[in-house]
Structure 1
Amino acid sequence: MTPSQPPTPSPSSDATAADPAASPSTTPPAAGRRRLLFAGVAGAAGLAGASFAWWKFRPHDVAPGAEQALWGLQFDTPEGGTLDMRRFAGKPLLINFWATWCPPCVDELPLLNTFYRTHSAHGWQVVGLAIDQPSSVRQFLTKLPLDFPVGLAGLSGTDLGRSLGNLTGGLPFTVVVNAAGQIQDRKMGQVTAKDLEVWAKG
């Protein structure tokens, strides 16, 4: 009896195994390049978005003369008086730009009010500059009275904020000025208790 021999593979099955293009699980090169290109574009877009967000929420340089001009400003108050910034010269000062239509602004006002109550005895002053309609501010303050003075800054407050580095005009925006009249710090966005703690220590 002749021993059985292993079956000889057919030429067609060899060709299929040796040809990567014939395998259904292998990605065609063009599709792979398209995916890599898409990933690269998406990554670049993400970096561009992050860079824009960093630029948007980072205070920019203070305009020349803005620190000195600050002390010559006057604003109407909700009570009908005048808020003269010169009266705060020589004290550490926190200036908060806010509006009634800005939820983060409204959220941080009680925190700022507590800071003022706690630190006014140590010389600290807080001033709120409302970028808003006077009637809206007056109505708002009947519901949430503040111990620190508020100025009705309106559109001129937006220009002042830009001169102090808030180029986008976003709210809230906070500026901390030391007793020597120099800008110590600025923050775009909602203030935290940690921010206030750091500023109070100087």
Structure 2
Amino acid sequence: MTHRIHIDHSRPDGNAPAHDAGRRRLLLGGAGALLSLGLAGCQSKESIALEGVTVQHLDGKPVALDSIKGKPTVITFWATTCPGCVKEIPHIQDLHDKYAERGVNVVGLAMSYDPLDQINAMVKQKDMTYTIWQDKTGRGAEVFGPVRVTPTTFILDREARIAYQKIGLVDMDRVEGLIEGLLESA
């Protein structure tokens, strides 16, 4: 015969002990964090307000950020000092190599704190042939969220609506599937 022992942790006032309340808060916080990560693939119905926002070309000249409209776009916010960003460069380059001729913009938008000379050195060192701009004023990062963590990648449809958003390294199979879907819907 097996005996089960049940220990009642409730207090006389009917409240759970403090350690249970702390555990509950931790679980709810973790669930909230997972929910926010799960929303990383959500699609937006409104276009991002890119009009009037300028970033900087590697030669220092301004570029209108809304110049990406009209084509599906992969835009990744990155920094030369970010190990994950550097690790992702070959994958972003592969996207450019595979989809540029099919009309997809692939853009690396370096964060405002990244010095232009350091960005140019990385572009040369890593043989990055996709579009690289610097978000010199930080305004680009602001209109996208704001973006505070790198790498952060967005896939936009032709109207600059978010089809995908990911903080951290991207799932290349998922990204390619989304790009193919955007190209087919044209």
Number of aligned residues = 169
Letter in 1 for 2:138: S
Quick check: 1:177 aligned with 2:156? yes
Q: Tell which structure's C-alpha radius of gyration is larger.
A: 1
Segment drifting more, 83-92 vs 111-120: 83-92
Would the aligned equivalents of 1:66 and 1:163 in 2 still touch at CA under 8 Å?
A: no
Higher helix share: 1
Measured in 2, the distance between the counterparts of 1:71 and 1:94 equals 18
Measured in 1, the distance between the counterparts of 2:164 and 2:60 equals 31
Shift of 1:166: 4.2
Shift of 1:139: 2.3
Unaligned runs of 5+ in 2: 1-6, 182-186
Would the aligned equivalents of 2:47 and 2:159 in 1 still touch at CA under 8 Å?
A: no
Would the aligned equivalents of 2:80 and 2:86 in 1 still touch at CA under 8 Å?
A: yes
Please give the root-mean-square deviation of Cα atoms over the aligned residues, in Å. 3.4
Shift of 1:44: 1.6
1:50 match: secondary structure: helix
Q: Which has the bigger relative contact order, CA under 8 A and spacing at least 6?
A: 2
Letter in 2 for 1:91: K
TM-score (norm 2): 0.72
Q: Which residue of 2 aligns with 1:108?
A: 88
Question: Which runs of structure 2 are paired with 1:161-172 in the superposition (5 Å)?
Answer: 161-166=141-146, 169-172=148-151
2:173 to 178, 194, 199: 194
Unaligned runs of 5+ in 1: 1-28
Of all paired residues, the percent bearing the same amino acid is: 23
Measured in 1, the distance between the counterparts of 2:94 and 2:51 equals 25
Letter in 1 for 2:144: L
Would the aligned equivalents of 2:75 and 2:106 in 1 still touch at CA under 8 Å?
A: yes
TM-score (norm 1): 0.67
Measured in 1, the distance between the counterparts of 2:142 and 2:27 equals 26
1:128 to 103, 108, 112: 108
Superposed CA offset, 1:64-114 (max 9, x none): x872x3143322222334433343321111111111121111111110111
